Amino acid sequence: MVGINKLREKMSVIHEGEVFEIVNVDHFKLARAKAFVKIKLKNWKTHKTSLLTFPPNKKFEIAFIQSLKASFLYADHNYYYFFNQEDFKQILVLKPNFSNLELLLSENQEVEILSFKNEVLKIILPEKINLKVKSSTSAIKGDSVNKATKYVTLETNLKILVPLFVKKDDVIIINSKTLKYISRYKNNDK
């Protein structure tokens, strides 16, 4: 147990049986009143934030979040399957908890998995992801009044806007947060 005065941002604590990440800690002492602490907590599972007030003598249990490197293997109707690069075991992750990942995960994609007591809390993708163009619409000559872009479908069935020069079977780099095209992949890119 840790006293409330030792809590800092980005720490994880257990409160009422749930795991929370501390977003903000503010200490208050008003005239003629007892001191109190306001903590903004973010639930790891639901991603909801709440602002709670505690007395200065409140103690919290620290939640030790485990981080591990894994590679994506495949997905079925219910689960994502990852390969733990440290102990070579498979990790199963329920799809409904991470439904937005399917469009960004390709075979052997490296990710970071954060877990607490063997329960996956978060899957962190690299900022840049390489994906192959599965299909592309052909560019129309003279259609460059605005930005010269077109839609392509990637190997994961994600559809994004890219420049006209991108063709089928090209490998492109996209931003995993904004889902926007960055550049074409070259062999010397990392």
Residues 149 and 180 in one domain: yes
**End of a domain among 62, 81, 96?**
62
Residues 55, 20, single domain; the answer is yes
Q: Residue 152: pLDDT band by 50, 70, 90 thresholds?
A: very high
- Which CATH number belongs to the domain containing residue 91 in this structure? 2.40.50.140
The per-residue DSSP string of the chain comes to -EEGGG--TT-EEEETTEEEEEEEEEEE--TTS--EEEEEEEETTT--EEEEEE-TT-EEEEP--EEEEEEEEEE-SSEEEEEETTT--EEEEEGGGGGGGGGT--TT-EEEEEEETTEEEEEE--SEEEEEEEEEPPPPTT--SS--EEEEEETTS-EEEEETT--TT-EEEEETTT--EEEE--TT--
pLDDT by residue (tens digit) across 102-136? 888 888 899 999 999 988 888 999 999 999 999 88
The answer to whether position 189 is within a domain reads no
pLDDT in tens, 6-21: 888 989 999 998 999 9
What is the domain extent for residue 8? 2-62
Residue 77 covered by a domain: yes
Same structural domain for residues 42 and 73? no
pTM score of the predicted model? 0.79
Clarify whether residues 140 and 179 are in a common domain: yes
pLDDT in tens, 85-99: 888 899 998 888 787
